[in-house]
Amino acid sequence: MNKKVLFEDLGHKDYKETWDYQELLFQNIVDAKIRNRRTESNEDTSNHFLFVEHPHVFTLGKSGDMENLLVDENFLKEKGATFYKINRGGDITYHGPGQVVGYPILDLDNFFTDIHKYLRFLEEMVILTLAEYGLKGQRSDGETGVWLDVGTPFARKICAMGVRASRWVTMHGFAFNVNADLGYFDLMIPCGIKDKAVTSLNVELGKKSVDMEEVKQKLLRHFESLFEAKLVKQKANV
């Protein structure tokens, strides 16, 4: 099993360009698995992990409801935002500057073939990172992602998640609000969940901004530990 994960920080990158790049990496892994099966060979399959910050964008998952977008696309254009229907699970979400968006494109045959465990590990990565800032991140029953003050009237989401998996290969991932502009969340019903708020790490810490690079390094360290992976940094090539 190949536990080496090629890591790229794409910096600020358009959503559609990044989605296309994910699809390319995803398909390369799937094709390698198909070749292995057909030829009974044992070619290593690669694993990738991308970090990116997107310009303002709203995305709707396969099971999503357009009614959870509270404005029309013309209004989004006025706000400098784009909109895409995409092939992940989940409902509507927002990506924008000040978020660490992470896309693990992993062959889970190299780790464990359990999507539930995979999602819990991604949540745990964020929970452990929040703990380093003195915050208690939590899971909310039936609601994927990471929350604060679950079970109280003040429950609020700090990290959204939505993934796709085929042949045990993953894509899409998580969006962790670090220095996010929370006003954009008012334009939708986040993840289709009504009456619950959204927050950002800088807000919780009472700071104007939090060091994004510091947050990224903490996330990567916990990812390596949880997945027993070896991250290999690559120069972004898109």
Burial of 123 (0-12, 13-18, 19+ CB in 10 A): buried
Annotated ligand binding at 131? The verdict is: no
Annotated ligand binding at 49? The verdict is: no
Catalytic residue among 127, 148, 191, 201: 191
Annotated ligand binding at 90? The verdict is: yes
Annotated ligand binding at 180? The verdict is: no
Is residue 177 a contact partner of residue 99, using CB atoms and an 8 Å limit? yes
Annotated ligand binding at 174? The verdict is: yes
Annotated ligand binding at 212? The verdict is: no
Whole-number Å distance between alpha carbons of 235 and 40: 33
Annotated ligand binding at 20? The verdict is: no
Annotated ligand binding at 175? The verdict is: yes
Annotated ligand binding at 93? The verdict is: yes
159 annotated active-site: no
Annotated ligand binding at 94? The verdict is: yes
Query: What phi and psi, each to the nearest 5 degrees, are found at residue 108?
Result: -65, -15
Binding residues: 88-95, 160-162, 173-175
Active site amino acids = 191
Q: Which residues are known binding-site members for substrate?
A: 88-95, 160-162, 173-175
